[in-house]
Amino acid sequence: MKKYNFNAGPSILPREVIEKTAQQILDFNGSGLSLAEISHRAKDFQPVVDEAVALIKELLQVPEGYSVIFLGGGASLEFCMVPYNFLIKKAAYLNTGTWAKKAMKEAKLFGEVVEVASSADANYTFIPKGWTCPDDVDYLHITTNNTIYGTEIRKDLDVNARLIADMSSDIFSRPIDVAKYDCIYGGAQKNLAMAGVTLVILKDDVLGKAPRPIPTMLDYRTHVEKGSMFNTPPVVPIYSALETLRWLKANGGVEAMDKLAQKRAEIVYGEIDRNKLFRGTVTDEADRSLMNICFVMNDEYKELEKPFLEFATSKGMVGIKGHRSVGGFRASCYNAQTIEGVEALVACMKEFEAKA
């Protein structure tokens, strides 16, 4: 039976990315050695990093004066590296979910943290609006897509502060205006690559301002200066990122991904809103994530939750169980998610409704 992968992360990648990476693991560029066996400094691997960085700059139209680096440690390490490197006195954080909260917790180790707004009291079912950011902050940190709660800030905010964004789960799904950000980061395993690598885009002239000694590995300058080769980088995940970036370019880039994301979301949210069994969990429709679509069973059908999960699983749906902090269901629709995949999910929802 065909499987439709709705996992939240690690998650669906284009099939050809998996296949091409697998081939290189068996025989890297015809060398007779595996990608996993060569030195990261091998003359063959440098072009992988160079091409990946060039494609990121091209696809996101990264302006002059920015560096693109690959790190280990996941987005979670960036929660600490960001304030370590950028928090001088005071930073602002928009609290839109679990990941935002974790980022804020780390920042408090380094200086004053202002929570500009929070939807924690409403279990993060919306993105707070109408807040203001103090004028004197070093940066405002946002999480553009809240993977767990299914809300998204799908635009580049106009605010009176430099932006730093955790884009782990929606990067490369729409065009972004990189110039508004001092730093953009993301764990690769949602929309870019196999798990194990983090992408960081940095504005060069904000580096080196923090008034504290920074351990070498946690200092962004180390990795910028060494072109992500200060120590052994995660070569296989980086290679898979390169294949995803090539796939992205061949498939119309971030504009095409944006259109596809809108189309997938229309199909799934359309069915959630139509189907008598289900409702979306996000209270302001404008905040609905195009990447992680969260929904629950309406109260009068609550006891059908498990049966629906079993039914959908029997039809090949994988990973649609909601995160424990939201319950219900979550259909993650990253770039590699096909229209066929979301139509198969919708067909399940319709068929189950007819039987209910």
Q: How far is the CB of 63 from ligand PLP (least distance, A)?
A: 24
User: Do residues 197 and 71 make contact, with C-beta atoms less than 8 angstroms apart?
Assistant: yes
**Among 170, 182, 190, 258, which one carries the catalytic annotation?**
190
Q: In the annotation, is 190 catalytic?
A: yes
Q: How far is the CB of 275 from ligand PLP (least distance, A)?
A: 27
**Quick check: 287 binds ligand PLP (CB under 6 A)?**
no
**CB closer to ligand PLP, 142 vs 210:** 142
- Figure out which of the listed residues 83, 150, 187, 341 binds ligand PLP, where binding follows CB under 6 A: 187
Q: How far apart, in whole angstroms, are the C-alpha atoms of residue 177 and residue 157? A: 10
> What's phi and psi for 53, nearest 5 deg?
-65, -45
Secondary structure (DSSP) of 210-276: -SS---GGG-HHHHHHTTT-SS---HHHHHHHHHHHHHHHHTTHHHHHHHHHHHHHHHHHHHHHH-T
**Quick check: 169 binds ligand PLP (CB under 6 A)?**
yes
DSSP 3-state of 312:
helix
Q: How far apart, in whole angstroms, are the C-alpha atoms of residue 313 and residue 307? A: 10
Residue recorded with tokens 């780390």: 106
**Quick check: 313 binds ligand PLP (CB under 6 A)?**
no
Q: In the annotation, is 99 catalytic?
A: yes
Q: With CB under 6 A as the contact rule, which of the stretches 74-82, 105-113, 257-265, 280-288 interacts with ligand PLP?
A: 74-82
- Figure out which of the listed residues 4, 6, 9, 322 binds ligand PLP, where binding follows CB under 6 A: 9
Q: How far is the CB of 108 from ligand PLP (least distance, A)?
A: 17
Q: How far is the CB of 168 from ligand PLP (least distance, A)?
A: 4
Query: DSSP character for 30?
Result: G
Q: How far is the CB of 185 from ligand PLP (least distance, A)?
A: 9
Run of H or E including 293: strand 292-297
- Figure out which of the listed residues 29, 76, 313, 338 binds ligand PLP, where binding follows CB under 6 A: 76
Q: Which residues pair with 151 in a beta bridge?
A: 146, 288
**Quick check: 337 binds ligand PLP (CB under 6 A)?**
no
Beta-carbon contacts of 144 under 8 Å, excluding residues fewer than 6 positions away, are 152, 153, 154, 165, 166, 167, 170
**Quick check: 240 binds ligand PLP (CB under 6 A)?**
no
Alpha helices in the chain (DSSP H): 15-26, 46-59, 74-86, 98-107, 220-225, 235-250, 253-274, 305-314, 339-355
Q: In the annotation, is 287 catalytic?
A: no
**Quick check: 106 binds ligand PLP (CB under 6 A)?**
no
**Quick check: 99 binds ligand PLP (CB under 6 A)?**
yes
Considering only residues 148 to 167 of the shown chain, the ones binding ligand PLP according to CB under 6 A are 166
Give the orientation angle of helix 74-86 with respect to helix 98-107, to 10 degrees. Answer: 40
**Among 99, 182, 219, 258, which one carries the catalytic annotation?**
99
- Figure out which of the listed residues 14, 74, 233, 237 binds ligand PLP, where binding follows CB under 6 A: 74
**Quick check: 45 binds ligand PLP (CB under 6 A)?**
no
Angle at alpha carbon of residue 15, lines to 268 and 45, rounded to 5°: 130
**CB closer to ligand PLP, 56 vs 348:** 56
**Quick check: 143 binds ligand PLP (CB under 6 A)?**
yes
Query: DSSP character for 120?
Result: G
**Quick check: 228 binds ligand PLP (CB under 6 A)?**
no
- Figure out which of the listed residues 5, 11, 95, 147 binds ligand PLP, where binding follows CB under 6 A: 147
Q: How far is the CB of 145 from ligand PLP (least distance, A)?
A: 6
**CB closer to ligand PLP, 69 vs 297:** 69
Query: DSSP character for 201?
Result: E
Residue recorded with tokens 């979670």: 76
Residues that bind ligand PLP (CB under 6 A): 9, 74-76, 99, 143, 147, 166, 168-169, 187, 190
Which of the residues are catalytic?
A: 99, 166, 190
